[in-house]
Amino acid sequence: MHWINWAVVIVYLTYLVTDSIRRARGVNSIEGYFLANRNLPWWAVGLTVMATQLSAVTMIGTTGQGAVDGMRFVQFYFGLPVAMVILGVTIVPFLHRAKVYTAYEFLERRFGARTRSLTAFLFLCSRGLSCGTIIAAPAVVFTAIFGWPLPLSVAIIGAPTVLYVVIGGVQAVTWADVKQMFVVVTALVAIVIVLLVKIPVSPDAALTIAGAAGRLQVFDFSFSLTQTYTFWSGIIGGTFLMLSYFGTDQSQVQRYLTAKTVEEARRSHLMSAFWKIPLQALILLVGVLVFVYYLFVAPPVFWNPTHARAVQAADPNAYVQIEREANAAWVRRSQTAVELAGAPTADRTLRRAQFKSADSAYGAVRSDALKQAEKATGGTVRDVNYIIPQFVLNELPVGLAGLFIAAVIAAAMSAVAGELSALSTCTVIDFYRRWVKPEASDAHYLKVSRGATAFWGLVACFVAVYAASLGSLIEVVNRFGSFFYGSILGVFILAMIPRARASGAFFGLVISLVAVGAVSYFAPNVSFLWYNVVATVTAVVTGYVISAFSRGAPERHMPTNT
């Protein structure tokens, strides 16, 4: 990579870390460390809510998803606006007025210590795993592109992140997120402009070709439990997922607890409701345009360079044959794309059919090539996460490539920082202060909090090395969470039902986890989005039934929304 690109990366990251540490001066209490003294402006809270999701997984995995699968992935977020409106009138005001540090701290007031501890433990499991996956996204790319050892790539991202979170807490995290959002959006818009300039056909023709390849299909109204990205899985399963993630996951709850007032907390949530889907559409569009670009510029057969080296080393003759077949298939596909772009309206049906046939033929050659890579490497091969990095490093102008890489690293650092802060908060408030040392000075808790942050940083780095081999990382993150999110959401719904009791909440939570495990084991083809629906409904129904047969007065209700 050109030295100017490296300079851009180094300068930006140096500024990000030093400014984050500078803003952390004066943090000398756990309320300041975990909640920024509940004094952040709503727009900063809104941007940090979005930035926590807009990680390197999104920058690399979602753009790659757009290149291979088109715009369908945006359906995943259809439930977000619905969820944000519901949360704005339910959980957000309740938790903000309760003056808690964590969402699970509140559950003890309603259902007792065991329900609080179990939900907090589930959060630590899900966030600890996903935090490592967020680091893995850029780490695997750097390893493949630059030849760095994977642990080194993980350390380059993880070490500075842990440093500024340990020192500055959520104050440092928030203002780093604000800068990250501006850099990421700037990089994405710049790449779209470059692609439109470089693609040798008009934007209208480019979109026509993308549509012929099925890359512009947004809506899929088929109802199938085995299809992940459909309108119904997004609007139903996605709503349950977003309700749980934004309403009960500490990494998000901690964000709106830092807002000055309930009204500002609501505004920060509505920012995501209005802007998340357009932003995801922009990210997917980058991937779609990259797909169109490589119809006119020969792409590598293997997006991951390590796969190419493995196949070539294992069987040089097979590698030459794969290259020859792929080139011939690409030439045919490119020719049909050119013919489709220039075809008059009357001929487009025929040209579209010819292009789709050539595109399928090229896809078949690619599938055979990946099978060869699996034989050579001895493992599952998916290279969707390498498409955009290859384009950025080989096709973008000097400087802009550095900006994109800086944005990817910064996105990873910001998302990881938010997760580490939430993990530390939950560890200290829900376990250490609750069970180990209930009475101590702020100085003591602050010291323990920084140690917990460092511990979770090490855990995330270890998980990252494993997660690097799990395929499309954007799916991996959501799949991890879907094993726990619905169950936790069910408990919070029970908390708003007056007749629900502690025994019902606890055993409803346990039974819902068993139900998700059963669905995953006995019906492995069911999409993970439906896990959230299964878990939530199971937790609420079984919890309510058990509560109905339990003796004693109902526990304390959630505060009224007044």
Instruction: Please state the CATH superfamily assignment of the domain spanning residues 3-294+394-548 in this structure.
Output: Sodium/glucose cotransporter (1.20.1730.10)
414, 176 in Cβ contact below 8 A? Answer: yes
What gap in Å lies between CA 540 and CA 504, rounded to an integer? 9
Per-residue tokens: 309 = 């080296």
pLDDT of 21 strictly over 90:
no
Distances (CA, A) of 512 to 204, 244, 348, 486: 49, 14, 52, 8
Helix ranges (DSSP H) in 147-200: 150-198
Of 461, 523, 514, 445, give the one whose Cα is nearest residue 483.
514
Percentage of the chain surpassing pLDDT 90? 37
- Split at pLDDT 50, 70, 90, the class of 560 is very low
Of 102, 101, 91, give the one whose Cα is nearest residue 493.
91
- Split at pLDDT 50, 70, 90, the class of 312 is very high
Q: What is the pLDDT of residues 238-258, one digit of tens each?
A: 898 888 888 888 988 998 899
pLDDT of 477 strictly over 90:
no
Percentage of the chain surpassing pLDDT 70? 94
Q: What is the pLDDT of residues 98-117, one digit of tens each?
A: 889 999 998 998 999 999 99
Of 171, 168, 48, 34, give the one whose Cα is nearest residue 101.
34
Distances (CA, A) of 405 to 5, 138, 199, 304: 8, 9, 22, 17
pLDDT of 382 strictly over 80:
no
Better-predicted residue by pLDDT, 471 or 269? 269
Three-state DSSP at 259 gives: strand
What gap in Å lies between CA 423 and CA 456, rounded to an integer? 7
* Strand partners for 259: 40
Instruction: Give residues with Cβ within 8 angstroms of 248, minimum separation 6.
Output: 91, 103, 119, 485, 488, 489, 491, 492
Residue-wise burial string across 455-492, b where 16 or more C-beta atoms lie within 10 A, e elsewhere: ebbebbbebbbebbebbbbbbbbbbbbbbbbbbbbbbb
The confidence score (pLDDT) of residue 227 equals 81
Per-residue tokens: 43 = 């727009």
Distance from chain centroid for Cα 89: 25
* Strand partners for 353: none
What gap in Å lies between CA 324 and CA 217, rounded to an integer? 32
Which residue is listed with tokens 């055993």? 507
The confidence score (pLDDT) of residue 478 equals 62
- Split at pLDDT 50, 70, 90, the class of 5 is confident
Name the residue type at position 416: V
φ, ψ dihedrals at 39, nearest 5°: -140, 25
Instruction: Give residues with Cβ within 8 angstroms of 54, minimum separation 6.
Output: 180, 181, 184, 279, 411, 415
Tell me what the pLDDT averaged over the chain comes to.
86
The confidence score (pLDDT) of residue 561 equals 44
The confidence score (pLDDT) of residue 540 equals 96
Domains of the chain, residue spans: 3-294+394-548, 305-382
Of 490, 549, 550, give the one whose Cα is nearest residue 115.
490
Write down the pTM of the prediction: 0.81
Please state the rounded mean pLDDT for residues 199-205. 91
What gap in Å lies between CA 525 and CA 128, rounded to an integer? 26
Which residue is listed with tokens 């080989």? 394
Q: What angle do CA 251, 257, 259 make, to 5 degrees?
A: 120
